[in-house]
Structure 1
Amino acid sequence: MTGLIAHEWIAPHGGAEEVLSQMMAAFPEARVSCLWNDNPGRFGATRLNQSWMSRTPLRMCKAAALPLMPATWRAVDTRDAEWVLTSSHAFAHHAGGRALREAGRHFSYVHTPARYLWEPGLDRRGAGVLAAAVRGPLQRIDRARAREGSMYAANSEYVRQRLHRFWGVDAAVIPPPVRVKLITSRVDWRDELVGQERGVAQRLPEGFVLGASRFVSYKRLDLVIRAAEIVGLPAVIAGAGPEEAHLRAIAASATVPVVFVISPSDELLFSLYQRAAVYVFPAVEDFGIMPVEAMSVGTPAVVNIAGGARESVEALDSGELADFDSPLSIERAVTAALRRDRHLVGRGAEHYSEASFRRTLRSWMGVDSVGAGADRSLGDRGVGSPDRDEPALRRHAAVA
């Protein structure tokens, strides 16, 4: 008998998938259940069981699948599991029977309560007619299930407070894993670049303001361009997504140069962190992994005063907080960040490392790892490893 790890759906890449990867590294004997797997190259079928939804069109439409998720998770067979560990941002914490909960062997790591259910204003998936129709019943089911006795850990104090507000439960706080060891393993990541990406790096301006994330509306990358204009520095916007055309339109009329780096590899992204004068992160996030990545190489971060990203900035004393609705607040924060001693920025970032996450997770659960390879880090195998997340496999970037 061993444990069961339950993780919503597996996306091609994302912070939740990094958490799952490290959970699997911490407990290599555990089985894994998910609703469906959209990254079979990274998470193979050896240890992974997908739900019935994976064989239906529901996997292509989360809004339609939403009302069926609680019952699907509740039906997961946990009879041969000594414990259950869930990685939840929707309904995975519903997995597992009452017996495990009453025995104190049910553990839930919560990235966030489902935003489209509890805070639809923060997630456009909650704005649809179907989501609105089922919100009330699903909230009652979610709250009742959450109070059945699981042990909870939140990825930030910000999320811990939301768990208390929405579910009426308390939680420990365990920050998610950050690839600190890998990112800090090279003095200059430009030496690792090849082909087109080497040319991209050579053409970048000096002393730039960096914004890097998916190009989606809530990331507010337009405010990175605005911050660069306020302090009179060029901007580099790295990532990819549906907002690219909108961001390029804003950049076209900006008063400072704006360079786009589309779909950078990890090597190029880490190089951007190292070369940036400041990393600006306007999004209201549950935690915010990318600011920690930037700070770990000595680049100060400016993050939103709201949300969970401020917690790592304050803990490391390596950046500034800004009210991004106020140009004056942006100017003060970015200017103060630019004055920081980069030799002091990011000290203590190993607290957020993958190894630290695994140790803290096992200590919180009180469950020993199993197997000789239990403490191996999937993130320590080097750049380009097949176990690394999808962005590491992108060897080329486009710049414009």
Structure 2
Amino acid sequence: MNHDVLEKSLLRPATRSALDELTQVPERQAKPRRTPLRADKRVRIAIVHDWLVTYAGAEKVLEQIIACFPEADLFSLVDFLDDRDFLRGKSVTTSFIQKLPLARSKYRSYLPLMPLAIEQLDVSAYDVVISSSHAVAKGILTGPDQVHISYVHSPIRYAWDLQHQYLQQSKLTHGPKSILARLILHYIRNWDIRTSNSVDGFISNSAFIARRIKKVYQRDAQVIFPPVDVEAFSLCTEKEDFYLTASRMVPYKKIDLIVEAFTQMPERKLIVIGDGPEMEKIRAKAGANVDILGYQPFKVLKDHMSRAKAFVFAAEEDFGISVVEAQACGTPVIAYGKGGALETVRDLSEPKPTGMFFDEQDTESIIGAVSRFDDLADRFVPANCRSNAEQFSAAHFRERFFEHVRAAVPALRAATLPPYVPYVTHAQAAANVPRTLAVDQSGVLGGAELSLLEIVKALRSRIEVVLFDDGPFRTALAKTGVEVNVLDAGALKSVRKQGGSLPKGQALKGLISLVRATAKRARHVDVIYANTQRAMVIGALAGKLARRPVVWHLRDIVSPEHFGGKQLAIIKWCARLGLTHVIANSAASAQAFSQLTQFDGKRIDVVFNGISAEPFDALRTVPQATLRERLKLPHDAFLVGSFSRLARWKGQHVLLEAMVLNPHMHAVLVGAALFGEDQYEIELRAFVAAHKLGGRVHFLGFQHDIPACMCAVDAVVHTSITPEPFGRVIVEGMLAQRPVVAARAGGVLEIIDDHENGVLCAPGDAHALADTLAELRSNGELREKLVRNGYQTALSRFGTRTYVDGVARILKSVVEK
């Protein structure tokens, strides 16, 4: 074959791909290449990664791909991971390189064998193959009835446009070793092009890499930005007078250029965080105004990133995670104007800029950019930086990646993205949490149960659950893999916290039975964790029998407004008899309990409920009109949503009275009468009929998908007429990025700063509520302010990580004492 023929065979445009065949109707005479999967057949998925030796950017993508397809099997050339938590307990099938001499430390030296090795991994039993590739993973062998989708971090850099840089750094520019290296790289390039034809669909981590894919493989790629742990950073609006750069100190990062530039600007301070082979070289160039801290733990990096005036970035990266992390702190970026930074930073030519670029990788360009930044610093708003960073969240990545794969595989069209459950290993749980028996009285998914569900998801390897009633809550718990036992509460089901007689007869027998059954299970654990008031009573008695400490997670304000006199007396008695510690969901709850029981204040801790942002973030790209259509709500009306069970003290009637006063709005009531409160729902519906509000009040009843309902409305109201212990719906409204109006009482005051992240109204005042909602409807600037600040409040103060860590710490402390 002559040179021209060889070149044409290697570089010809890709023929019609298998992905096209899946998404286009074939001509009548064409026979389908793939046998369609039966609807009842499980789709088998394999995930292929280059090598598993560390947890870096490519592995963070792999972690989220596994979260999208948790049942998939995993393949890799080698697996030498020590910290393997991100694999979520998966085993890995490896290649023959795993067993070669010195493979752990010298695996890169086996580059010439990697094409052969990846082809020996057998994935023929799978319907879908997903490769995560920056080297050879995309070369996995697949058949005509398999769909192969490849997420490409980059075509093999050192074989393509960075070959000469690679040879120089490896000192392979001359001599026999250089000739051999060039021959190997030539062979790999040919192999790389050939194997690209077996990929049905390419995904790139940036438009920059998409252009590389087009240049090398002559194929188009869908851009899906890699995930960044945006939630690990919080918005900081107060900036100090210093600049920051942070990176591993290797040549292409150009930290030396940044240090040289600032050394020539002695009036400006630079802080450098990072370590690496160029550390001494960089230290030698640093002036008195440059402070090189070396390697620092994440906490220190985050602190400096939050306070910095700007983050300086001089590398040409495919994406550049640190650039997004800086913006997540509200810190603008001064970056080299090539590579991924052009896609993650909005410069001054765009609305709401988050940074600016310099054109050359030299000191003069950096100096000029920093000087311009100083002159224009007031153009960069921290909240805009944070907002820009949020589009790169892990939740957003999972949503887009899953949708892309589902669209490419007909058999997955009916599949839904599985809920994200943080993975906790048995070793981690054993180190941090004692064996725990969680007790709850309800089978219904109320606020207390949703909060317990977050605890169970994180600590499921060290926790088992006892319920006194069956229902959707048991189903949700079972999906986490935790052990759940449902005990028959018998006549005790009729006992309400608002009052009634003490249990007698059959109810007393039920009480004794529950105590014995709970105590039996408690003997196998270290601590009883009671999640509700009735569960606390059973837990306190069972703790005495089993000789186990009892922790009550108090989620109520124990006052005559919420509890009957006899129930309050029981709470006081249990506090003296059998409670070791109390976790209150707000200071208001803690104060009421302390006043009632005179309980030792040192044994009461406040831990705010934690609420995950991911179900809300997953809906960020879904049009509101789509959600309203799904819920059969009017498209053009200003909708005000109430999210709570229908109960008089929850105050839905106040919202309806405000609707009478304000004819320009609609009310959406999400919730049902759960605990014998059916009469109240009848009264609400009668009020609607009497005032001819039927066209403007929408009863949606109980809904499983609260995030979708919240994102469908324009404002969220909280109308409790008696003090609320916490106000979960308020935080959920903030996460849905909707302005929140709430009653000024109880735990609500610990969440909302009036007219900053929400608006407060007097409890039960329909006129004030109507006026506030009218102001929100007409004042877009106020709505935007409340949404922006509310979202940051929800992320920074009420995240699930802080919540779970707080509860785990207290459980451990109680057992140790």
* TM-score of the two chains, using structure 1 as the length reference: 0.82
Q: Does the alignment pair 1:212 with 2:262?
A: no
Equivalent residue number for residue 275 of structure 1? 307
Residue type of the partner of 1:357? F
Count matched residues. Answer: 363
Quickly say closer, same or farther: Cα 1:159–1:122, change in 2 above 3 A. Answer: farther
2:127 alignment partner, SS class: strand
> 2:155, 2:213 within 8 Å by CA — same for their partners in 1?
yes
**Residue in structure 1 matching 2:128, options 83, 98, 105:** 83
**Residue in structure 2 matching 1:64, options 93, 109, 120:** 109
Equivalent residue number for residue 332 of structure 1? 368
TM-aligned CA deviation for residue 178 of structure 1? 0.5
**Correspondences of 1:119-134 after superposition (within 5 Å):** 119-123=162-166, 128=172, 129=178, 130-134=180-184
TM-aligned CA deviation for residue 341 of structure 1? 2.7
**Correspondences of 1:281-360 after superposition (within 5 Å):** 281-314=313-346, 317-338=353-374, 339=377, 340-343=379-382, 344-360=384-400
Quickly say closer, same or farther: Cα 1:240–1:371, change in 2 above 3 A. Answer: farther
Residue type of the partner of 2:390? E
Equivalent residue number for residue 462 of structure 2? none
TM-aligned CA deviation for residue 377 of structure 1? 5.3
Equivalent residue number for residue 237 of structure 1? 272
- Higher mean C-alpha displacement, 348-357 vs 315-324: 315-324
Residue type of the partner of 2:403? S
> 1:28, 1:370 within 8 Å by CA — same for their partners in 2?
no
**Correspondences of 1:1-400 after superposition (within 5 Å):** 2-43=44-85, 46-56=90-100, 57-100=102-145, 103=146, 105-118=147-160, 119-123=162-166, 128=172, 129=178, 130-184=180-234, 206-231=240-265, 232-251=267-286, 254=287, 256-314=288-346, 317-338=353-374, 339=377, 340-343=379-382, 344-366=384-406, 374-376=419-421, 382=801
The Cα offsets for residues 79-109 of structure 1, whole Å up to 9 and x where unpaired, read as: 2222111111000001131325xx5x11100
> 1:209, 1:280 within 8 Å by CA — same for their partners in 2?
yes
- Higher mean C-alpha displacement, 299-308 vs 338-347: 338-347
The Cα offsets for residues 25-81 of structure 1, whole Å up to 9 and x where unpaired, read as: 111111111112232322566332222212222443344311111121122111222
Residue type of the partner of 2:278? E
Quickly say closer, same or farther: Cα 1:221–1:135, change in 2 above 3 A. Answer: same
| Distance in 1 between residues matched to 2:250 and 2:363, nearest whole Å | 22
Quickly say closer, same or farther: Cα 1:242–1:36, change in 2 above 3 A. Answer: same
1:176 alignment partner, SS class: coil
TM-aligned CA deviation for residue 123 of structure 1? 3.6
| Distance in 2 between residues matched to 1:317 and 1:282, nearest whole Å | 19
Quickly say closer, same or farther: Cα 1:17–1:224, change in 2 above 3 A. Answer: same
The Cα offsets for residues 278-324 of structure 1, whole Å up to 9 and x where unpaired, read as: 11111111111110110111111111112222211138731111124
TM-aligned CA deviation for residue 228 of structure 1? 2.5
TM-aligned CA deviation for residue 372 of structure 1? 9.0
> 1:29, 1:371 within 8 Å by CA — same for their partners in 2?
no
Equivalent residue number for residue 194 of structure 1? none
Equivalent residue number for residue 390 of structure 1? none
Residue type of the partner of 2:346? E
* % identical equivalent positions: 30
Larger Rg: 2
Residue type of the partner of 1:121? H
- Higher mean C-alpha displacement, 152-161 vs 2-11: 2-11
> 1:27, 1:370 within 8 Å by CA — same for their partners in 2?
no
2:387 alignment partner, SS class: coil
| Distance in 2 between residues matched to 1:20 and 1:361, nearest whole Å | 11
> 2:306, 2:326 within 8 Å by CA — same for their partners in 1?
yes
TM-aligned CA deviation for residue 248 of structure 1? 1.2
* TM-score of the two chains, using structure 2 as the length reference: 0.42
The Cα offsets for residues 323-373 of structure 1, whole Å up to 9 and x where unpaired, read as: 243544323322343413333323232110000000010111116598995
| Distance in 2 between residues matched to 1:138 and 1:330, nearest whole Å | 37
The Cα offsets for residues 363-389 of structure 1, whole Å up to 9 and x where unpaired, read as: 111165989954335698748x9xxxx
| Distance in 2 between residues matched to 1:143 and 1:363, nearest whole Å | 27
| Distance in 1 between residues matched to 2:403 and 2:196, nearest whole Å | 22
CA RMSD of aligned residues (A): 2.9
Unaligned runs of 5+ in 2: 1-42, 173-177, 424-613, 615-798, 805-817
Quickly say closer, same or farther: Cα 1:78–1:145, change in 2 above 3 A. Answer: same
| Distance in 2 between residues matched to 1:304 and 1:70, nearest whole Å | 34
1:345 alignment partner, SS class: helix
> 2:358, 2:365 within 8 Å by CA — same for their partners in 1?
yes
